Amino acid sequence: GIQVEQSPPDLILQEGANSTLRCNFSDSVNNLQWFHQNPWGQLINLFYIPSGTKQNGRLSATTVATERYSLLYISSSQTTDSGVYFCAVAETSGSRLTFGEGTQLTVNP
Amino acid sequence: GAVVSQHPSRVICKSGTSVKIECRSLDFQATTMFWYRQFPKKSLMLMATSNEGSKATYEQGVEKDKFLINHASLTLSTLTVTSAHPEDSSFYICSARLQTSGRAYNEQFFGPGTRLTVL
C-alpha cells in the first residue's frame, strides 16, 4: 500500500514564529488532506488539497502531486496551534485514507 | 456544514460485554463511512470501510466477527465491539465521505471519537 511520511515528528516554536510541515507519499493520489487533532482528539479539517495551493488565514498548503509531497505552512503561530498535525492520502484507485505518523507541534508563549 | 457526530463520546464497560458506537452525518448524506482506531501517541489506523446497504470491507488483521459494522442508512453507521476485552480499549473515530446531489466527493469529515475503556 501507499506509504506516507511526515516530518519533522516534533516541533517546538515560540509564539509568532513560522513553520513548515512536510508530507511525502509514495504513489499517485486522488485525495490529500491535512488535519489538526486537538487535545480532545477531534480531527479538524484544514485542507483538502490533492494538488495545487490553498490558503486559509495564517495557514496555507501546497501539494506537488508530480513530486509526491505536500507542505503545510503555519505563519505567526499561536499557542492554540499546538497539537498534532496529520497528513492523510488516498491512492488514485480508491478512497481509503492512509495517515502519516503526524507532527507534534508545541507553541510556547 | 459537513458535521459528523459520534455517540457515546466515552464508555467504560466490563470485559465480555458488547459496546455499540454510532456515527452520524448530520447535514449530508454519506454512502461511505470509515472506522479508525487510534492508540495513545499513535496515528489513525483504518479498520473498515462501511458502505450503505452492503457489507463492510475490513482491513487485513481486523476481525469482522469482533467488530460488527452496520450502515443502515445514508446518515448512520454503527460499530459494535463484541465481547470486549481490555486490549480493545482504544479511541475509535469514524469519518464520512461527503456526498451531494448524487455525487460522492473524496474529502472525508471526522467525528469527535469515542474513548472505550474495557475493565
3-state SS class at B88: helix
Chain A CB within 8 Å of residue B110 CB: yes
Residue A10: strand pairing partners: A104
Q: How confident is the model at residue B2 (pLDDT cuts 50, 70, 90)?
A: confident
**What percentage of chain A reaches a pLDDT higher than 90?**
91
Pairs across A and B, CB distance < 8 A: 51
Per-residue pLDDT of B76-114, as tens digits, reads 999 999 999 999 999 999 999 876 666 657 889 999 999
Residues 6+ apart with CB under 8 A from A93: none
Place of cell 456526498: B99
Tens-digit pLDDT profile for residues A11-29 = 999 999 999 999 999 999 9
By Cβ distance, the residue of A30, A98, A101 closest to B106 is A30
Q: Among A2, A45, A84, A96, which would you mutate to test the B interface (most chain B Cβ atoms within 10 Å of its Cβ)? A: A96
Q: In one letter, which amino acid is B65?
A: D
Q: Which residues of A touch B107 (CB under 8 A)?
A: 31, 33, 45, 48
Helix (H), strand (E) counts: chain B: 0, 11
